[in-house]
Chain A
Amino acid sequence: MHQPTTEPRPSLYYPYQVFQPWRPSEHPKQDRKQVVIVGSGPAGMVTALELARHGVPSVLVTAELQFSQGSRAICFTRRSMEILQQVGVADRMTEGGLPWRFGNSFYRGQRVFRMEAPHDPDDRFFPIINVQQQYMEEYLYDACAAQPLIDFRWGNKLVWLSQQDGGAELLLDTPEGEYTLEADWVVAADGGRSPIRTAMDLQMEGASYEGFFVIADIRIDLPLPTERLAYFDPEWNPGNTILMHREPHGIWRVDYQLPEGETPEEALRPDSLTQRIDAQLEMIGFGGTLWEMDWSSVYSARTLTLPDFLHGRVIFTGDAAHLLPIFGVRGANTAFQDAQSLGWHLAFVVKGLASPALLANHSAERVGAAREIIDEAGKSVRFMTPPAGGFQLLRDAVLSLSLSQAFVRPLYHWRTSRPHEYTGSALNSAGDDNALFTDGPAHGAPPRNIRLAANDFLLDHLGGGFDLLYFTEAEAIPPTLQAVVTAARARGVPLQVIAVGASRPVAGADQTLADADGHFRQRYGVQTSGAAYLLRPDQHVCARWLTLDATRLQAALTTVLPH
């Protein structure tokens, strides 16, 4: 029998709630489920919320009775916030978070690089916001609990899974014993150590790097702004790197690299932690400041991905599908993009609006994203924790030169997580005018947000299905286009028409956005009435036209929902 701990986890700032396990005896015999999601981290919960937004119910099982131990992920990107906005938790993230956009790199006591992430007036969210993972999980869980289509089962541990034709059978253990569950689809969102991945004996591709980092969260009062701090090769830890981030609730994250040859066990000894954190505080001018340890762990950089996320009726997502380095905030931020993508692809297959070929597209797109991230993150890792030999020598040469030579300083700017552009996606329309546009988001790109008014942005108006942005100053959407939209809706395809550029509501459009100053049209590279963008349910562009006609709108819809 699975007996998860009922002791609240220790924390200096987060009051853990212990939830009641889901007990099979309190429920009728289980009918077959359309989707079972294994894992209650960010990937699992966002997948459940996205499925529900598209009308698909799911059962979410987790072995635990509480949110995750320690804060783990703390930095969330603008794109993550845009995804979380779609599932209804961005406001709570904003209320509880610390936004930032500056990073500082130090070497030999000198600030050798200052990163300034742009914050466009058209963006609702900051480049990055710091929120502890437990709070993020709580906000997502509250949204799941409020959603009748999500059956959230605490204390249900997956023991065994087998696939038959067209489905899977799961054996789950609970505090009162085991029960079985049948499902059409299983989402493996069971984390970096994914037991499902292990049981299915799936191999990941990529590299693991030497060099361990200690991640420690401490409670301390430091009069410093919310900016990323990076220290290279300090006297107290020669050759290694230290990172610091302010978190909410008076907590600071301190990451430091271990000297070569030291084991994680040695590094996590309390006296070792104390000595090193004291040395770091001393170095930044706050020696002797009182602090308290909240949580610590050890991390090593890996750039690994499954070459395919789809295995029969099991779909891997988040850390279960890939392991990415923390440099550049790529863990949870990638998981949100995975889950947002999986949510609509799977929902449309479950609802019969597309064939399972759509799921192969999801896998191709997200494996492509993982590989792009691995390529970029590899560069960051080789600067932050260079392998011995040539990379070490080059990194040290750059540190040394950076004290006097500006041209090497941009190398300190490790690339942060950004939304992947599905440039080569099979869902992009072949017969549109993508190549003829001189500006605006291209095939596969996420949309550009537009500030429409105070506290009113384009992305607030999108979601729940496909969005057709139709640029017009006319009184009505042309009847031939309306006929295509009506026919798609009649087949069950959610499709919203947003007219842009008219001063009065446009007939046939669900919403009209005025764009009096032409700023929206300029950002989308639109010069004349009749142009249009088709956005997928994950908001990425799949077609755009300088002049839209009914035939080409129909062609784009046929391409994006393969049968």
Chain B
Amino acid sequence: MSPSHQALSIPGLEAVYDHLATAIDQAGPEKASLFLVKLALLNANALADAELFQQHVQVALQDL
């Protein structure tokens, strides 16, 4: 993926890292998937770009 001018700063990325990890634990193992799907839908709506979302899906599917 090409670098975006909207890329997170290092402190910002670190904050997302911690928030997401904590939230996954807060949701608990049974609800973690549901939580992540909700988050993905909210982020997709904020992106407002179905094609870009599709690219993100492909990147995330790599190297699992």
Asked if B33 lies at the interface with its beta carbon under 8 angstroms from chain A, I say yes
Contact A394 B45 (CB under 8 A): no
Asked if B56 lies at the interface with its beta carbon under 8 angstroms from chain A, I say no
- Number of residues in A with C-beta < 8 Å to the partner? 10
Measured CB to CB, the nearest residue on chain A to B40 is A397
Measured CB to CB, the nearest residue on chain B to A397 is B37
Contact A393 B34 (CB under 8 A): yes
Contact B34 A397 (CB under 8 A): yes
- A397 to B32 Cα, complex, angstroms: 11
Q: Is the interface of B mostly helix, strand, loop or mixed?
A: helix
Contact A405 B33 (CB under 8 A): no
Q: Which chain A positions have C-beta within 8 A of B45?
A: 405, 407
- A401 to B45 Cα, complex, angstroms: 12
Measured CB to CB, the nearest residue on chain B to A393 is B37
Asked if B42 lies at the interface with its beta carbon under 8 angstroms from chain A, I say yes
- A408 to B37 Cα, complex, angstroms: 13
> In the assembled complex, how far is the CB of residue A483 from the closest CB belonging to chain B, in whole angstroms?
55
Asked if A5 lies at the interface with its beta carbon under 8 angstroms from chain B, I say no
Q: Which chain B positions have C-beta within 8 A of A407?
A: 45
Asked if A69 lies at the interface with its beta carbon under 8 angstroms from chain B, I say no
Give 1 or 0 for each of A329-356: 1 = CB within 8 Å of chain B CB.
0000000000000000000000000000
Asked if B52 lies at the interface with its beta carbon under 8 angstroms from chain A, I say no
- A397 to B35 Cα, complex, angstroms: 7
- A398 to B42 Cα, complex, angstroms: 10
Contact B37 A394 (CB under 8 A): yes
- A408 to B33 Cα, complex, angstroms: 18
Asked if B23 lies at the interface with its beta carbon under 8 angstroms from chain A, I say no
Give 1 or 0 for each of B38-64: 1 = CB within 8 Å of chain A CB.
100110010000000000000000000
> In the assembled complex, how far is the CB of residue A411 from the closest CB belonging to chain B, in whole angstroms?
10
Asked if A400 lies at the interface with its beta carbon under 8 angstroms from chain B, I say yes
> In the assembled complex, how far is the CB of residue A393 from the closest CB belonging to chain B, in whole angstroms?
5
- A519 to B37 Cα, complex, angstroms: 49
Measured CB to CB, the nearest residue on chain B to A401 is B38
- A397 to B42 Cα, complex, angstroms: 10
- A482 to B41 Cα, complex, angstroms: 61
Measured CB to CB, the nearest residue on chain B to A394 is B37
> In the assembled complex, how far is the CB of residue A389 from the closest CB belonging to chain B, in whole angstroms?
10
Q: Which chain B positions have C-beta within 8 A of A398?
A: 41
Q: Which chain B positions have C-beta within 8 A of A408?
A: 41
- A407 to B42 Cα, complex, angstroms: 9
- A473 to B33 Cα, complex, angstroms: 67
Q: Which chain A positions have C-beta within 8 A of B38?
A: 397, 400-401
Contact B33 A401 (CB under 8 A): no
> In the assembled complex, how far is the CB of residue B33 from the closest CB belonging to chain A, in whole angstroms?
6
- A291 to B45 Cα, complex, angstroms: 45
Give 1 or 0 for each of A405-442: 1 = CB within 8 Å of chain B CB.
10110000000000000000000000000000000000
Given contacts A397-B37, A397-B38, 7 further A-B contacts (CB under 8 A): A393-B33, A393-B37, A396-B34, A396-B37, A400-B34, A400-B38, A407-B45
**A interface residues with partner B (beta carbon < 8 Å):** 393-394, 396-398, 400-401, 405, 407-408
> 19 A-B residue contacts at CB 8 Å?
A393-B34, A393-B37, A394-B37, A394-B41, A396-B34, A396-B37, A397-B34, A397-B37, A397-B41, A398-B41, A400-B34, A400-B38, A401-B38, A401-B41, A401-B42, A405-B42, A405-B45, A407-B45, A408-B41
